[in-house]
Amino acid sequence: MRSICVMNQKGGVGKTTSSVNLAAGLAKQGRSVCLIDLDPQGHASLHLGVEAFGQTPTVYDVFSGKKTLSDVKQLAVDNLWVIPSDLDLAATEIELVDAPGRELILRGAIDRLNQTQPFDYVIMDCPPSLGVLTINALTAAKEVFIPLQPHFLALQGLSKLFETTALVKRRLNRELKVSGIVLCLYETATRLAADITDDLMRFLEQSDPQAPWYKARIFDSRIRRNIKLAEAPSFGQSIFDYAAKSSGAIDYAALVTEVIAAEASAAQPAAA
């Protein structure tokens, strides 16, 4: 199983769009995928037409110990299960403040899920913060994907994000590595996007071998700005079902191919 945490504490950079379309693309390639929505806004769930209303169990019930992921999961399309979220999840940050082992809840839940129904991929869509939900995802994941919008100030905040991964690696999850940066809302024609990409590449090349982002790469697939990607959520469909011929579908399909190509190396145990 590959477990991937999609994180960036900035909002609006493409976390949810990337989590959903990556998950859907992998499912179309025959991988079994569980997408865990960790944002109280529930956008990933809604994007796939999974609405948590009334008594629908959600990931909140997993954090509060009332349900397992197996109880909560819903089949969205072939091979793709969603663990929905709703606003209740916002209370988790506060409710868990004093709970011992609160960083480990999701990891334990995924381990149990794996015993009953092993998935090829577990993808976690994080909220725009570095709070307890994101820490849970980083503790449960082996890999981190960072969506980034290469515009002015894009790199600001990145050092805090990297520090957080280093802290989690040291204290909670030795196996954690940042495997890649996904450039989203990419403006092919701008000099600025190219400059930021160069700066980032230079930073990654000079990184310390102990750092979780050592050998992290910028995915070759750049996700261009495409209105179809912004429209798809209101139809409860991934880009592949909503607009299979759009540039958004082409870009995310390319990303899926890159992610699948790394399956063999991801299966190797992380160097100590």
Q: Which residues would be at the binding site for ligand ADP (CB under 6 A)?
A: 11-17, 43, 128, 184-185, 223, 225-226, 229-230, 233
> Choosing among ligand ADP, Mg ion, none, which partner's interface includes residue 223 (Cβ < 5 to 8 Å by kind)?
ligand ADP
Q: Which does 17 bind (CB under 5 to 8 A by kind): Mg ion, ligand ADP, none?
A: ligand ADP
Angle, CA of 138, 37 and 99, to the nearest 5°: 55
- Which of Mg ion, ligand ADP, none does 131 bind, CB closer than 5 to 8 A by kind? none
Residue with Cβ nearer ligand ADP (33 or 249):
249
Structure token digits, residue 130: 């570095």
Instruction: Report the residue number, 18 or 165, with the smaller CB distance to Mg ion.
Output: 18
Q: Smallest gap, in angstroms, from Cβ of residue 39 to Mg ion?
A: 5
Nearest distance from C-beta of residue 16 to Mg ion, angstroms: 3
Whose Cβ is closer to Mg ion: residue 10's or residue 15's?
A: 15
7 binds, among Mg ion, ligand ADP, none (CB under 5 to 8 A by kind): none
With binding defined as CB under 5 A, does residue 15 bind Mg ion? yes
Q: Tally Cβ neighbours within 10 Å of residue 268.
A: 7
Give the one entry of Mg ion, ligand ADP, none that residue 30 binds, where binding means its C-beta sits below a cut-off of 5 to 8 angstroms depending on kind: none
How near is the Cβ of 15 to Mg ion at its closest, in Å? 5
Which range binds Mg ion by CB under 5 A, 13-21, 51-59, 106-114, 250-258?
13-21
Mapping DSSP onto H, E and C, the string for 167-221 reads HHHHHCCCCCEEEEEEECCECCCCHHHHHHHHHHHHHHHCCCCCCCCCCCEECCC
Alpha-carbon span 208 to 119, nearest angstrom: 32
Using CB under 5 A as the binding rule, whether residue 16 contacts Mg ion is answered as yes
Strand partners, 145: 6, 180
Q: Which is nearer to ligand ADP, 27 or 185 (CB)?
A: 185
List the structure tokens of 173: 């999850």
R_g of the chain computed on alpha carbons: 17
Q: What residue 185 binds from Mg ion, ligand ADP, none (CB within 5 to 8 A, per partner kind)?
A: ligand ADP
28 near Mg ion (CB under 5 A)? no
Q: Are 252 and 25 in contact (CB under 8 A)?
A: yes
Residues 6+ apart with CB under 8 A from 66: 57
Structure tokens at 176: 């954690």
**Which range, of 8-16, 142-150, 204-212, 257-265, touches Mg ion by CB under 5 A?**
8-16
CB–CB of 4/123 below 8 Å? yes
Q: 13 contacts which partner out of Mg ion, ligand ADP, none, CB within 5 to 8 A by kind? A: ligand ADP
Q: How far is CA 131 from the centre of its chain?
A: 15
**Which stretches of the chain are assigned E, i.e. beta strand?**
2-6, 33-37, 74-77, 80-83, 121-125, 143-148, 177-183, 217-218
Smallest gap from residue 10 Cβ to ligand ADP (A): 7
Residues that bind Mg ion (CB under 5 A): 15-16
